[in-house]
Structure 1
Amino acid sequence: MTRIIQFAARFAVIGLAVAFAIVWFWPHLLPAWQQQTEPAPATYADAVNRTAPAVVSVYTRTLVTEPMSENITDPLFQALYRDRMVTRPRRGLGSGVIVSSDGLILTTRHVISEVDDILVALWDGRVAEASIVGSDPGTDLALLRVELNDLPVATLADDDDLRAGDVVLAIGNALGLSHTVTMGIVSATGRGHLSLTSYEDFIQTDAAINAGNSGGALINPDGEVVGINSASMGQETGAQGISFAIPASVVRRVSNQIIDYGQVTRAWAGMELSDVSLRLASENTFQPGARVSRIHRGSPAWDAGLEGGDVLISADGQPVSSARELMQQIANSAPGHEMELQVIRGNQLFTTSVHLVQQPPMQD
């Protein structure tokens, strides 16, 4: 019996010694010892080089007519020239992202809105005139075309799985300095209530986005475009490092519809909503919802019998978590869809259906 115990103990010691030697000389063979997170790269040059050739600088010119005396401070000359008008060019700049090799370029609508001429400067130094294919005031996106072929194309990220803290890089024509690259992190996703566009689902970042960056690319460390840079809060508001980009999922949906239909197909119910939280006495909890703040006369919501002050708590069987998300759900539905809404009016709970229609043309 003693020999058996000695024999087993000897093999146990040998086994421990072999295991220690393996771990010591080949630690990568032990999964538990492997680090679970990849170390931060020392450079993001590969990501920039992958996308920068597909980022363009956009230059615009608009002829404006204004009183000659507008910029004159001398009272005598103001009196002499007060009735005279002068036409001057007003120049603007922005950025764009090439999304097809045959010349389709994404940018923001406010960069090219109401301009007379658009020029696009490419990575390789070529300059070409651009025409507007279509635009969407609701998301501030626009699609341009240049008559060039075999252009480098940016890759749009497949999904919007960004998290606060992810590293992003902005590429654009900042202050006329083409292909300027700035780096930051994602500060938040799903930002709304900014009064920038009608349909807001912005990525917030602290990557510097200056004048001229609008329409440029916001990329991840793999060089994929996760957003189109749109706006930033200026220092005059006391803000620092607060910028916004339109997420890739919105960019893909809007650009595909402009290509296919020349406009964005977006459903409309004809009501304006605000966030509200209801206290449920039976469960002593709060339930989010969307309060109807305004109904457009003759709209689908009007025809469905909705009234100002109604609270919507579910749409097509899905709980309403916020007014912004319900507006997006409506907009992303197909015109003609019958949306079933669960409504609280006073102490009454009822269900109604809204026949969604194509959104009327939006005003600037």
Structure 2
Amino acid sequence: MSRSLLALVALFIAGESLLSAPAVANSLSLAPMLQRVVPSVVSISVQGKELDDADATLADPFYRKFFGLPDDAAPAEHGFQSAGSGVVIDEVHGYIVTNQHVIASASKIEVVLSDGRRFKAKLVGADPETDVAVVQIPPDHLVQADFGSASSLHVGDVVVAIGNPFGLGQTATMGIVSALGRRAVGSEGYEGFIQTDASTNPGNSGGALVNENGVVVGINSAIIGPAGGSIGIGFAVPAETVGIVMRQLILTGKMVRGEVGVVTQDLTPGLARAFGVNEGPGALISEVRPGSPAANAGIQPGDVIRMVDGRTVRGASDVRRLVGSLPLQSRPSFQIDRASRRIEAFPAVSAAPVAEPAAPRTIHIARGPLADVEMANSPDGLGARVVVVAEGSVAAQAGLQLDDVIVALDQQPVTDVGQVLAILMKEHARALVTVVRNGHRLFVAADVQTQ
């Protein structure tokens, strides 16, 4: 083939590529999807009053007495304004879902639609545990979002965050799903956050996280950023959790969760070995409340929950979230590993009680699995309280924490530090420690050889 012919062929191929570039670009555009979704995302402005930080302690009668102030001395308040986002979930009745922290302490809530119309909103209900709230406006030609499920998401899926960052108005940013089931920002609630690198900033809270088809898969809730801005780590409450909570809030104005009377913790490789079960997704039951539905169903401490109601349990937070979302009086299936056996239990779901806070000669352990731990007799005489856990020690790596109260060692009950020492006098490289933490029993497997 001649050089001139080769050049002609190359020019033809390049021309084809250039001609097809706009078509490729158009196929990648999210504009058609956003045109459908954006009208369902609203901006929310809030006004209210809160205590000045410097005067907050004056709300406590103890501090008023300590400083010699009269009982009617009131802490100073100041007005505040803040902004967030929301998503229309019911165009017929005017319901909008947002974050609880967006409307917290609000005395006035205003919703601004994407077309500029403004409405006063009333609070229907809020749930601090999941950071979900529902407000209501007049149902005047609203556009409701298509709510879907986060269960089909995978790490790497494309998502778009839509909201009102810094009060600028409707803004869309694109990213991917970075992780699933996150226990984010120190929360102990029913979260299981979706983590995304789609840029979210203050004001995005309560806005929509949608997939590439425009289906809402989560509600943006929190970010991690040193200066309050985005660094590519944002969190959204999964759509399933939002749906469960918002339905109860609309029906009753409050969220009532179910429970079966167990306390669980994540299943670590060390704990799996200690209890003779396979590693992998699951939650270890560390406590079963006497007389609870779980106890009546034969569930025991040391059992490992693998599935609840047909859904895989990845860790302790999944148990709380899954059981908490089930209807009261239902009897879901619990797939449980007990040593080498797989069993199934059907505890009845009951209303969760209000959580109560836990009740308050020091020795230093020099060797063994609890080396570099200091403990003292618990004031209530029910165990040995941990007062020091050296950073990097075997016990610290295993999960032993300051203020844990050791109540059993190698499944032998202990009531004071002397009994702990007596068991540790025997030469052994591992210890299965039962502790009470925040009022609940947990297991810690400390192993010199693996940590």
SS of alignment partner, residue 116 of structure 2:
coil
Q: Report if the CA contact (8 A) 1:96-1:107 is conserved.
A: yes
Pair 1:291-2:284 in alignment: yes
Amino acid at match of 1:41: S
Shift of 1:346: 8.5
- Deviation (angstroms), 1:214: 0.4
Identity among equivalent positions (%) equals 36
1:11 maps to which residue? none
Unaligned runs of 5+ in 1: 1-37, 71-82
Are the counterparts in 2 of residues 310 and 344 from structure 1 also a CA contact under 8 Å? no
Q: Deviations over 1:228-265 (max 9, x none)?
A: 11111113699931111122222223223333343345
Q: 2:265 aligns with which of 256, 263, 274?
A: 274
* Alignment check: 8 A CA contact 1:186 1:203 kept: yes
Q: How far, CA to CA, are the matches of 1:344 and 1:251 in structure 2?
A: 31
In the alignment, the residues of structure 2 paired with residue 184 and residue 295 of structure 1 have an alpha-carbon distance, to the nearest angstrom, of 42
Please list, as runs of the form range in 1=range in 2, the aligned pairs for 1:3-82 lying within 5 A after superposition: 41-66=27-52
Partner of 2:83: 93
> How big is each residue's C-alpha offset from its partner over 1:147-172, in whole Å with a ceiling of 9 and x where there is no partner?
24221222223663222222211111
2:241 pairs with 1:250? yes
Contact 1:65–1:87, Cα closer than 8 Å, also in 2: yes
In 1, Cα distance between equivalents of 2:86 and 2:309: 40
- The aligned residue for residue 204 of structure 1 is 195
Conserved in 1, the CA contact under 8 Å of 2:194 and 2:235? yes
SS of the equivalent of 1:255 reads: helix
Q: CA 1:86–1:260 in 2, change beyond 3 Å: closer, same or farther?
A: closer
CA change 1:55–1:285 in 2 (3 A) is closer
AA matched with 2:96: I
Q: Is 1:114 paired with 2:108?
A: no
Contact 2:85–2:98 at 8 Å: present in 1 too?
yes
How do 1:1-364 and structure 2 match up within 5 A? 41-66=27-52, 86-101=76-91, 102-157=93-148, 160-192=151-183, 194-196=185-187, 198-235=189-226, 240-276=231-267, 277=269, 278-279=272-273, 286=279, 288-294=281-287, 299-301=292-294, 310-314=302-306, 321-338=314-331, 354-360=347-353
**Aligned partners of 1:59, 1:264: CA distance in 2, in Å?**
24
C-alpha displacement of 1:130: 0.9
1:135 aligned counterpart, secondary structure: strand
Amino acid in the other structure paired with 2:47: R
Per the TM alignment, residue 131 of structure 1 is displaced from its structure 2 partner at its CA by 0.9
150-159 or 231-240, larger mean C-alpha shift: 231-240
RMSD: 3.7
- Greater strand share, 1 or 2? 1
Letter in 2 for 1:137: P
Cα distance in 2 for residues equivalent to 1:113 and 1:147: 21
Q: Following TM superposition, by how much is the alpha carbon of 1:58 offset from its aligned partner in structure 2, in angstroms?
A: 1.0
Distance 1:137 1:269, change over 3 A: farther
Partner Cα separation in structure 2 for residue 216 and residue 203 of structure 1: 14
Change (3 A) 1:112 1:293: farther
What secondary structure is seen at the aligned counterpart in 2 of 1:178? coil
- Show CA shifts across 1:42-97 (max 9, x none): 42222222111211111112223548999xxxxxxxxxxxx896442022221001
- The answer to whether the 8 Å contact 1:175/1:211 transfers is yes
CA contact (8 A) 2:55 2:76 kept: no
Which protein is bigger by CA-based radius of gyration? 1
Worse-superposed segment, 149-158 or 84-93: 84-93
Q: 1:86 to 1:263 in 2, by over 3 A?
A: closer
Structure 1 length as normaliser, TM-score? 0.72
Deviation at 1:191, TM superposition (A): 2.3
Contact 1:67 / 1:84 at 8 angstroms: preserved in 2? no
Gaps of 5+ in 2: 1-23, 57-72, 357-451
Query: Greater relative contact order: 1 or 2 (C-alpha under 8 angstroms, separation 6 or more)?
Result: 1
- Classify the secondary structure of the residue corresponding to 2:106: coil
Q: CA deviation at 1:298?
A: 6.5
Compared CA separation, residues 122 and 238, structure 1 to 2 (3 A): closer
